[in-house]
Structure 1
């Protein structure tokens, strides 16, 4: 298995397992949190854009109806 004699040695990382696996775990948690936050932000921005488009369409309709008077 390369630098390690067994899979157990690989998991123990020559006595540094706690730090190594904690680093991997924290990185994974951060990446997942970033993905979730990004997805929520995207939904919020899309919702705001739709609201702005509705307001713009309503104003355009109002201006057109005022011009026809």
Structure 2
């Protein structure tokens, strides 16, 4: 599609509002997915580290108990 000017490009033949709104909604959805993925990854890694630390503490406590 060829446009004569930038304003014609932004107007998109009278459908610019809907075109750009759809782009904005899609971009927001993609950004939301990226943010949700990153926060979920951080939360899962934090939980794994906590479980590993708990397992290490339990093992240390059990070894200490066995020496008594």
Q: TM-score range by the shorter chain?
A: 0.7 to 0.9
Structure 2 residue ranges without an equivalent (≥5): none
Q: CA RMSD in A?
A: 1.4
Q: Using structure 1 for the length normalisation, give the TM-score.
A: 0.84
Partner of 1:22: 21
- Could you list the runs of 4 or more consecutive aligned residues of structure 1 that deviate by over 2 angstroms after TM superposition? none
Q: CA deviation at 1:66?
A: 2.2
Aligned residues: 68
State the distance in 1 between where 2:54 and 2:31 align.
35
Gaps of 5+ in 1: none
In the alignment, which residue of structure 1 is the partner of 2:8?
Answer: 9
In the aligned structure 1, how far is the partner of 2:65 from the partner of 2:7? 79
Map 1:14-53 → 2, pairs under 5 A: 14-53=13-52
